[in-house]
Amino acid sequence: MKIGIYGQFYHENSGIYIQELLDILDKNNVEVVIEKDFLALINANETIHKSYSHFSTFEELDNTYDLFFSIGGDGTILKTITYVRDLGIPIAGINTGRLGFLATIQKEDIKNSIDLILNKKYHISARSLLNIQTDPPSEEFGTLNFAMNEIAVSRRNTTSMITVHTSLNGEFLTSYWADGLIVSTPTGSTGYSLSCGGPVIMPDSENITLTPIAPHNLNARPLVIPDDKEITLQVSGREDTYLVSLDSRIHTLANETIVRIRTTPFKINMVVLEGDSFLKTLRKKMLWGEDKRN
């Protein structure tokens, strides 16, 4: 079995859990390859018992990997997908951060969780992604022109609203007067979109949500659409440019640039352990339906 490991930060007191993970994998004769910068962080903070191979770019990965561990929080998982991309390698998130809505393996439960994974007691939750293209073409995004949570357009360097002219499959929908617009996957529905009043969408739903950010036209409400639609956006405003964010990656585009958004042909495979589910996570992490009367 071959497993890749990625992390962004070395959280305080997380060393014992990283060492526990590496020890368990070593005892089970698992081949471990660690992202180069994260391996350097581990070596700088802990004395690990063996040397490990490393990778540093997407091109160094292939389909010989059976699994990928993301160590951190949900933001780390969003960075992990920029390595995995369309390889189909299942990702398991170990939460050493705070909420951990996507990173559902708790650091205190690593041993039991790894036992379940090594014994194939898990299933895959396939998550859709969004792709962005622009007219005229932009080099801003490079090959990282996709997002698992959301693609959002928003105002830049001004307190003035922007106008987001929006069409679906070439048919005009509306013009949002707002601070911006969030185009969200089901995975991203519990993130930025939710905080702006968007609905919670089940991960296996084949939908996209359009959620305006602080809209001035108060009859503009979040809209759920089928994910086979192509969304076309054109932004105007007092500034010459506006911001586009793909998950946590922020770029700048010129006004009147045409943005086209649709789902990618590939999905990201998230590991869900036996006994876990999206609904359990919803109740546990977001206190869904919590009421002192229950």
Domains in the chain (CATH in brackets) are 2-127+267-286 (3.40.50.10330), 130-263 (2.60.200.30)
Predicted confidence at residue 233, as pLDDT, reads 98
Q: Tell me: pLDDT of 140 over 90.
A: no
Q: How far apart are the C-alpha atoms of 49 and 156, rounded to whole Å? A: 49
C-alpha triplet 220, 226, 230: angle, nearest 5°: 85
Task: Give, in order, the Cα–Cα distances in Å from 114 to each of 6, 63, 111, 274.
Answer: 16, 21, 5, 11
Q: Tell me: pLDDT of 131 over 90.
A: yes
Report residue 209 as tokens.
């949500």
Q: How far apart are the C-alpha atoms of 271 and 12, rounded to whole Å? A: 26
Q: What's this model's pTM, rounded to 2 decimal places?
A: 0.92
Residue 218 labelled as part of a binding site:
no
| pLDDT interval class at 169 (50, 70, 90) | very high
Q: Read off the pLDDT of each residue in 69-96 and give the average, rounded to a whole number.
A: 93
Q: Tell me: pLDDT of 241 over 90.
A: yes
74 flagged as catalytic:
yes
Residue 66 labelled as part of a binding site:
no
Residue 154 labelled as part of a binding site:
no
* Least trusted range by pLDDT, from 23-37, 45-59, 140-154, 271-285: 45-59
Q: How far apart are the C-alpha atoms of 19 and 114, rounded to whole Å? A: 13
Report residue 88 as tokens.
């189909």
Q: Tell me: pLDDT of 50 over 90.
A: no
* Least trusted range by pLDDT, from 5-19, 29-43, 127-141: 5-19
112: CB partners within 8 A, 6+ apart: none
Q: Tell me: pLDDT of 196 over 90.
A: yes
Residue 168 labelled as part of a binding site:
no
Q: Read off the pLDDT of each residue in 150-164 and give the average, rounded to a whole number.
A: 92
Residue 106 burial (CB < 10 Å; 0-12/13-18/19+)?
middle
Q: How far apart are the C-alpha atoms of 106 and 94, rounded to whole Å? A: 6
Residue 37 labelled as part of a binding site:
no
| pLDDT interval class at 12 (50, 70, 90) | low
3-state secondary structure of 265: coil
Which residue out of 23, 26, 62, 74 is catalytically annotated? 74
